[in-house]
Amino acid sequence: VPVVDGTFITQRPTLSFMQRKVNGAPLLAVTNTFEGTVFVNQSATAVTAAQYSSELFPDFTAAQANTVENLYSGLGPDIFQTSAMQGETIFICPTYYMLSAFPGRSFKGEFAIPPGFHGSDLVYYFPGTSTPPFNNTAFIDAFAQSFTSFIINQNPNIKVDPSTITPPWSPFAIGDTEMLFNQTALNGLPVVHPITTSSALLTRCQFWESVGNLTAQ
């Protein structure tokens, strides 16, 4: 998380995104499904989301911690809630803040190949460096070449290789659209298609944006 020193970094990144003070023209951003899991002790099953948020952000009030509890209570066991909160506060929600800073010019993807942890996607960005868990050529080409096309043309729809299976990719501003990169559970076929961002996730991100002064975001 950037530290505001008043000289090199003069304000919180969240504020810059809200003010659309950004460099560059378009944005392509991808998050993984379970970004926070590897950063949370998975044996600490008795810690609630409220407790975890208070420990992670010591300036939180009891009311803010209770809000976290309410926002995450429907996601499953406590350990899943705390893992989700960790991933959303540090990686996932800030990505949506960045997307909003490039209205109509930003594209969002979700990498969901199991286990979908932070860093699980790295081997797919650079094909040939090692064997990926889902070693499917059509999937690898679709995922990696989306970035290649974006780098060259600033738009993943202007494909370097027109034969990839990635369908038309709408900007995020059009219906909160993302491109899902996944595989089928039974027969291991690639799944690449548009999805709509969860409204519950966006609601949680709105909360984290509202307390950015307490989370250093």
Per-residue model confidence (pLDDT) at position 84: 98
**Sheet architecture: strand order including 177-183:** 27-32, 106-111, 177-183, 190-196
Average pLDDT over residues 111-136: 93
Q: Examine the pLDDT at 68 and tell me if it is beyond 90.
A: yes
pLDDT tens for residues 127-163? 888 899 999 999 999 999 999 999 999 999 999 999 9
Instruction: Write down the CATH number for the domain with range 13-215.
Output: 3.40.50.1820
pTM of the model: 0.94
The reported pLDDT for the residue numbered 153 is 97
Tell me how crowded residue 198 is: count the other CB atoms within 10 A of its CB: 12
Q: Structure tokens of 89?
A: 């506060």
Give 34's DSSP letter.
B
Q: Where are the domains of the chain?
A: 13-215
Grouping H, G, I as helix, E, B as strand and the rest as coil, residue 52 is helix
Residues of the chain with pLDDT > 70, as a percent, come to 100
Contact call for residues 2 and 17 (beta carbons, < 8 A): no
Given a contact cutoff of 8 angstroms between Cβ atoms, the answer to whether 89 and 216 are in contact is no
**Tokens standing for residue 71:** 């926002």
pLDDT band of residue 1 (cuts 50, 70, 90) is: low
pLDDT at 24: 86
- φ/ψ of 106, rounded to 5, equals -120, 145
